[in-house]
């Protein structure tokens, strides 16, 4: 059974930082492209960032470029999302996902109409202004 478990969310003031982590089980971590999407109440799912299986290829939503950095440690089976300069509009539930076996990725894979192969239960990020 595939499981993805997110951690690191919380309440932070605007301009602050958080680092999200995601650990997986039940899949071969190094073979999968991984990523993060978010969903705020009353809003559609939004792809935030993704990273190919080798860690070389990444993609970001325009709304987070220059502020968020996605990385992965294939030796620790852990995915990270470093979030800096947080804004109130970043408030959402953040989900880790493993969309497929690929060294490429695109945040469009997490579009509202897309089927996401595997995802976790989410971690809440709340940014106060």
Tens digits of residue pLDDT in 65-90: 999 999 999 999 999 999 999 999 99
d(CA 37, CA 16): 20
pLDDT in tens, the chain (129 residues): 999 999 999 999 999 999 999 999 999 999 999 999 999 999 999 999 999 999 999 999 999 999 999 999 999 999 999 999 999 999 999 999 999 899 999 999 999 999 998 999 999 999 998
Nearest Cα residue to 17 out of 123, 90, 71, 73: 90
Torsion of CA 22, 47, 65, 68, to 10 degrees: -20
CB 7 within 8 A of CB 20: yes
d(CA 70, CA 34): 10
63 to 10, 45, 90, 115: CA distances (angstroms): 20, 14, 9, 22
d(CA 87, CA 4): 26
d(CA 67, CA 44): 21
């Amino acid at each position: 059974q595939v499981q993805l478990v997110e951690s690191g969310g919380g309440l932070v003031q605007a301009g602050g930082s958080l680092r999200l982590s995601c650990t997986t089980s039940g899949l071969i971590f190094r073979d999968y492209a991984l990523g993060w999407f978010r969903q705020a109440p009353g809003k559609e799912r939004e792809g935030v960032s993704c990273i190919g299986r080798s860690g070389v290829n990444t993609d970001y939503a325009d709304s987070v470029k220059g502020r968020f950095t996605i990385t992965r440690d294939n030796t620790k089976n852990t995915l990270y999302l470093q979030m800096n300069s947080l804004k109130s509009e970043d408030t959402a539930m953040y989900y880790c996902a493993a969309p497929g076996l690929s060294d490429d990725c695109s945040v469009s894979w997490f579009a509202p109409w897309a089927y996401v192969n595997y995802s976790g239960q989410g971690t809440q990020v709340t940014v106060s202004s």
